[in-house]
């Protein structure tokens, strides 16, 4: 019905956060720490890509199924007062589930990338010690 609105909301928030973080990183000349692969603005850009990309395609699917229309009130469920309740329930369950799942997958990927980079840099330090 309108489950994609929840990831869209999260995408708006994370995009604003990413822009603010990016500005701060530029202002203070923050560079990526030696043991880090990505700085925070780059990490948030990946999350934004997942959220915006997914939301756009989901919005298209809703248009396909006639649940979203290009004229007010845009959501067909809003026309019928009896359908508003189920729509809000769907947003609270499936919509929130989607947003949480995408964020969890992103967090796991970022953790794995950073952990593997840290272990690689430790291996390099070991090699350097042995070599010197």
Partner 1 sequence: MWLILTTLAAIITTLIWYLKDPKNEYKLGLLALIFWGAALMWFVDHVMAYLAEGGEFFEINADATLLGISVIIVALMVWEITLFISDPKGVFKKKITK
Interface positions with partner 1 (CB under 8 A): 3-4, 7, 46, 49-58, 60-61, 64, 93-94, 97-98, 101-102, 105
Q: Which is nearer to partner 1, 30 or 105 (CB)?
A: 105
Smallest distance from the beta carbon of 10 to partner 1, in angstroms? Answer: 11
Smallest distance from the beta carbon of 6 to partner 1, in angstroms? Answer: 10
Q: Which is nearer to partner 1, 102 or 129 (CB)?
A: 102
Give counts: helices (H), strands (E), the chain: 4, 0
The SS3 assignment for 8 reads: helix
Cα(61)–Cα(71) distance, rounded to whole angstroms? Answer: 17
C-beta separation of 58 from 3 below 8 A: yes
3-state helix, strand, coil in the chain (%, to 5): 80, 0, 20
Q: Which is nearer to partner 1, 40 or 52 (CB)?
A: 52
Smallest distance from the beta carbon of 126 to partner 1, in angstroms? Answer: 27
Cα(5)–Cα(122) distance, rounded to whole angstroms? Answer: 43
Smallest distance from the beta carbon of 78 to partner 1, in angstroms? Answer: 20
């Amino acid at each position: 019905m309108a489950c994609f609105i929840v990831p869209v909301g999260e995408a708006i928030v994370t995009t604003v956060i990413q822009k603010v973080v990016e500005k701060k990183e530029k202002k203070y000349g923050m560079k990526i720490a030696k043991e880090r692969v990505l700085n925070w603005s780059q990490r948030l850009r990946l999350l934004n890509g997942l959220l915006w990309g997914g939301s756009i395609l989901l919005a298209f699917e809703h248009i396909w199924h006639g649940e979203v229309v290009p004229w007010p009130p845009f959501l067909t469920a809003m026309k019928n007062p009896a359908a508003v309740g189920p729509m809000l329930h769907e947003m609270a369950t499936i919509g929130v589930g989607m947003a949480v799942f995408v964020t969890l997958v992103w967090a796991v990927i970022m953790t794995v990338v950073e952990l593997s980079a840290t272990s690689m840099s430790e291996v390099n330090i070991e090699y350097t010690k042995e070599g010197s």
